[in-house]
Structure 1
Amino acid sequence: MSPLPESAAAESVVGWSEREQLDFFSSGELLALLSEVSSGVIGGDPDVSLVEVHHRPGAGVSGVFEVVGDAETIYLGATAEKLPRVPEGTVTLEGPNGRVVVWLHPADPMLPGLGLATTPEAVGETWGGGRRLEDLRTLTYRPLRRAVMLARFDDGEELFLKVLRRDAAVMHAKHEMLLAVGIPAPVPAGLPVAEVLALRRVAGMPLAEDLMHSGVLPLSPERIVALLDSLPQGLMDVPVRESWSDRLEWYVLAAVTALPAAEQRIRALGSRIDVVLDSARRGPLVPSHGDFYEANIFVAGGKITGLLDIDSAGPGYLVDDLACFIGHLAVLPGIDGRYVDVDGYLNDYARAFASELERRDTDPAGFYARSAAVVLSLVAGARDEEDPDWETLALDRIVIAEELLRRA
């Protein structure tokens, strides 16, 4: 396959708003430009469509595009983010107010191992150990950020290939640290290769699935708090990452960008959350997970069998981990109507967590405000170009955040 043709586009000002970037990524203008660029790769007059768009508040907008030609289909990545450098093999296009950098997937300019993790021959040679690779598929891909591939071998073993921008060795060390104290994190299948960490499957099912089908509370609040309390002290040596509530202003901006008609309401909500957080006791700095919610917790028989996605694990606050759990739990019924019991579960968990936090000299008001901030961070994520009702879902999340804040 030929690389993308070189671009002669001049350097431009990268000062356009994220609202303008979102509009451009959904526009026919960009699709036409990408069709012209990709014609040099697959020939003819390719048909280009937007697969997904990703908005990272404060950084910019990126997207994945499908390009269908007469004989083959390719995928392009594109970003309006300001990159530290424009790598070779990319094309720079001029938008109405700034530039867009385009690459031929999997040559993501910030994920050096994506080519390795998406090439069956390379995956088989690197992690197969003589086994035959039967299947290789993409589970998640966030341009410039990370990707997860699922590799299945002929002996039935599955490996999750986590593609990182950097610090894969740190991620490997975190997994070993958790495993050493008995926390069931995924077991690494060797050291990282080219910033790709291969992880084995954990036992059990996602708590999200159990919450959908169980007729009783599937995991007690006490087990959840005990798991977080058992996180190793070694995580305190990892660099601190901001929590959802620490980035509140960026998530307000993202929500406003997604729903400009609701700007006044969103900004008022953000201000009210800020007022509570300014005076609420947060508790001591402790080892924390940093992205603690039902999809990252695996269970079986009421016990925790797996703790996933420890990218953000490090120094943090118990109240933020519990608020992250509550915030994600609160939006589940809007995602799938089968979560019929979740509202009751949410009340059970919230009361238990608020009581435990108060016992630890942490304000329950701050807990509910931080839960509201998590839901607010999920408003922009409701955007789905293929769902004509996505704005309704986004507005529902604003209502949920307001309801959580009223508990403060």
Structure 2
Amino acid sequence: MAEQSEALELLTGATAGEILGAAIEAAGGELIEWRSTEVSHHGETATVAYRAKVSGPGGVFDEVLGATAGGLLPDGVTVVGAGPGALAGGRPAGPGALAGGGPAGPGAPAEVGVWSAANDPRLPGLRVALDPVAVSSLFARCGLGDHPVSVKLRAYRPLRRAVVEAVGPLGRLFLKVVPTDQGQALHDRHRLLTGAGVPAPRSLGWTVDGLVVLEALGGRALRSALRSGPVGTDPAELTRMLDRLPTALLEAPRRTSWLERTSYYARSVGHVVPELASWSTGLSAAIVAEGIIGPTVPVHGDFYEAQVHVDRSGAIVGLLDVDTAGPGDRLDDLACLVGHLSVLAQVLPPHANAIDGLAEHCLSTFDRQVDPRQLRLRIASVVLSLATGPHRVQDAGWQQATRERVALAERWYDAAHRVHRSTALPLRERNHHESNA
């Protein structure tokens, strides 16, 4: 874990600005300010996304950057002074990525790769998705007219995936960008699900560089609806939608259960907040010892309130991010939803009543479909997996937020022991206890 700590510190600590500045300078610009927005680490490798303000030949502009350290650099990323990337006219130009080198020092990663989002070395389709002229051509081929369009990067995980919203006079599309070997499979999965009656976005096509063109869903995300007050979404409708997932998904690679990943997430907690290591690993050991994985069925794989779209009445009209759909345990989907809702109530205290109300309704419905004790244990696993979320997005006060999420996971574990006596605390009361802890 030492190498991982050094890579993370290099990309999020004081030296990160020096590295980004050197990369921008090598490309002919000047870094004015920056902040990290997305942090991930796997093995010895850390990868970070940044929002930056950059001065270039065309003036001052906002830029999204990515960087990686601690492992082999992707193809097309080299050290400062050797990369073909450039900033021209205030926007990225040229086929290559920006490049940076880490400072020499004991234990420091040998190299750091830095690039602008449009030049992500593993997401070549992002260059097209961020080019309004190229996207206008896509709109024309989709029957949305040959008009100017605007594009906006909505989500970006460096080297892994991105989502771009594109809007023209006659409509709106979402362009999902994945590594080149995943584009056709994602398109086929959307077609499979919509053909089975699952309200996923319809795929209009894909390109060889990993860009998938998706229709926009109607309604709004359930998470957004909860900000306006209680919603009328029926949990039974949620499970009926999961029941429509086609059995053909069982041919895909099996989804690893949240239960099987519990120990990994506990170690991640201890890595970002070392004083929580003993607590999180002890809790994970108890959850794993008591948890049971159920039968394999088609699952969504990342089923929570931001993935579900509802209309004004709360009826379900859409399901997002089906990339993860495949064989798995139904407990994982149900626990993922309730676990996310319980964390969301922590994050949005003014809306906690509406959020907790839906969570309680879901819990009472799901309890009639699966083992209530196993459901709460799995919810504890999900919440523990979310404990490093504040660090991942670099929220202010992320250390305390991490501690609060571990405490919430422990309360779900305790609730699993009480459920057979029907004495588990309601979510509202749990949140009240936490706020007074």
Normalised by the size of structure 2, how large is the TM-score?
Answer: 0.81
Q: Distance in 1 between matches of 2:65 and 2:392?
A: 19
Correspondence for 2:39? 54
Q: Distance in 1 between matches of 2:359 and 2:393?
A: 30
Q: Are the equivalent residues in 2 in contact too, given 1:327–1:371 (CA < 8 A)?
A: yes
Q: Distance in 2 between matches of 1:223 and 1:27?
A: 46
Higher mean C-alpha deviation, range 305-314 or range 349-358 = 349-358
Residue deviations 1:243-287, cap 9 Å, x none?
A: 33322222112212221222221112211211112xx2x321111
Identical aligned pairs, as a percentage?
31
Correspondence for 1:262? 276
1:136 and 2:124 equivalent?
no
C-alpha displacement of 1:219:
1.6
Residue deviations 1:17-60, cap 9 Å, x none?
A: 333222221222232133123212224x5335233231244463
C-alpha displacement of 1:218:
2.2
Higher mean C-alpha deviation, range 139-148 or range 247-256 = 247-256
Residue deviations 1:181-200, cap 9 Å, x none?
A: 21111011234452111111
Q: Distance in 2 between matches of 1:256 and 1:396?
A: 14
Correspondence for 1:116? 128
Q: Are the equivalent residues in 2 in contact too, given 1:187–1:200 (CA < 8 A)?
A: yes
What 5-or-longer segments of structure 1 have no aligned partner?
1-14, 359-363
Correspondence for 2:243? 229
Q: Are the equivalent residues in 2 in contact too, given 1:286–1:316 (CA < 8 A)?
A: yes
Q: Distance in 2 between matches of 1:385 and 1:196?
A: 25
Residue deviations 1:137-190, cap 9 Å, x none?
A: 0100000110000000122x1100000113211111111111112111101123
Q: Which amino acid aligns with 1:20?
A: E
Shift of the 273–59 alpha-carbon distance from structure 1 to 2, 3 Å rule, reads farther
| Counterpart selection for 1:106 from 115, 118, 121 | 118
C-alpha displacement of 1:365:
2.5
Correspondence for 2:260? 246
Residue deviations 1:314-357, cap 9 Å, x none?
A: 11111111011111011112222232322233223223212211
| Counterpart selection for 1:213 from 211, 220, 228 | 228
Correspondence for 1:25? 11
What 5-or-longer segments of structure 2 have no aligned partner?
78-82, 84-96, 417-437
Q: Which amino acid aligns with 1:86?
A: D
Normalised by the size of structure 1, how large is the TM-score?
Answer: 0.87
Higher mean C-alpha deviation, range 321-330 or range 366-375 = 366-375
Q: Are the equivalent residues in 2 in contact too, given 1:55–1:254 (CA < 8 A)?
A: no
Q: Distance in 2 between matches of 1:229 and 1:407?
A: 27
Residue deviations 1:33-92, cap 9 Å, x none?
A: 33123212224x533523323124446321234252263444432112534753254535
Shift of the 120–397 alpha-carbon distance from structure 1 to 2, 3 Å rule, reads same
Q: Distance in 1 between matches of 2:149 and 2:125?
A: 21
Shift of the 33–56 alpha-carbon distance from structure 1 to 2, 3 Å rule, reads closer
Correspondence for 2:28? 42
Shift of the 308–387 alpha-carbon distance from structure 1 to 2, 3 Å rule, reads closer
Q: Are the equivalent residues in 1 in contact too, given 2:166–2:175 (CA < 8 A)?
A: yes
Residue deviations 1:92-121, cap 9 Å, x none?
A: 523542132222332111112111111111
Higher mean C-alpha deviation, range 96-105 or range 163-172 = 96-105
The SS at the match of 1:245 is helix
Correspondence for 1:274? 288
Q: Distance in 2 between matches of 1:82 and 1:237?
A: 32
Q: Are the equivalent residues in 2 in contact too, given 1:184–1:305 (CA < 8 A)?
A: yes
The SS at the match of 1:286 is strand
Q: Distance in 2 between matches of 1:355 and 1:81?
A: 47
Q: Distance in 2 between matches of 1:263 and 1:248?
A: 13
Cα RMSD between the aligned structures? Answer: 2.3
| Counterpart selection for 2:335 from 318, 323, 326 | 323
Q: Distance in 1 between matches of 2:255 and 2:198?
A: 21
Correspondence for 1:298? 309
Correspondence for 1:352? 365
Shift of the 183–131 alpha-carbon distance from structure 1 to 2, 3 Å rule, reads same
The SS at the match of 2:367 is helix
Q: Are the equivalent residues in 1 in contact too, given 2:135–2:149 (CA < 8 A)?
A: no
The SS at the match of 1:287 is strand
Q: Are the equivalent residues in 2 in contact too, given 1:159–1:199 (CA < 8 A)?
A: yes
Q: Distance in 2 between matches of 1:58 and 1:248?
A: 16
